[in-house]
């Protein structure tokens, strides 16, 4: 269909006018339908955004709970590690003390062997 501006008005018939009006009304309906479709799409997009926002909030809340639970578990494990470390430190101190006593005992034994003749003459 030709544009209305390009039509020669001398040869423009009633049939041409009816065709032009029909064509224009179809475009108007199409524009109205497009506007309705756009509004529907915008509403659906808004609804999807709200739904996704709620779901993201729920996931973030669950993530916070998991993070708190893991933090508590990590704290408990660190506390247990500290206890084990203290226990091992005490045991190591005891073993070091025993080794020190053993070293002094060995030194006393070696000195006794070195000076056995001197000690024997002093006693006897």
Please state the three-class secondary structure of the chain as a single string.
CCCHHHCCCCCCCHHHHHHHHHHHHHHHHHHHHHHHHHHHHHHHHHHHHHHHHHHHHHHHHHHHHHHHHHHHHHHHHHHHHHHHHHHHHHHHHHHHHHHHHHHHHHHHHHHHHHCHHHHHHHHC
pTM of the model: 0.49
* 73-124 pLDDT tens trace: 999 999 999 999 999 999 999 999 999 999 999 999 998 888 888 877 777 6
Q: Residue 46 has what pLDDT?
A: 96
* 10-61 pLDDT tens trace: 777 878 878 878 877 776 667 777 788 899 999 999 999 999 999 999 999 9
């Amino acid at each position: 269909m030709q544009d209305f501006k390009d039509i020669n008005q001398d040869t423009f018939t009633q049939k041409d006018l009816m065709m032009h009006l029909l064509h224009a009304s179809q475009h108007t309906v199409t524009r109205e339908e497009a506007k309705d479709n756009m509004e529907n799409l915008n509403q659906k997009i808004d609804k999807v955004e709200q739904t996704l926002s709620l779901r993201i909030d729920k996931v973030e809340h669950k993530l916070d709970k998991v993070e708190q639970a893991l933090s508590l578990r990590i704290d408990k494990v660190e506390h247990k590690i500290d206890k084990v470390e203290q226990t091992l430190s005490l045991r190591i101190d005891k073993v070091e003390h025993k080794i020190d006593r053993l070293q002094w005992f060995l030194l006393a034994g070696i000195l006794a062997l070195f000076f056995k003749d001197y000690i024997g003459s002093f006693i006897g």
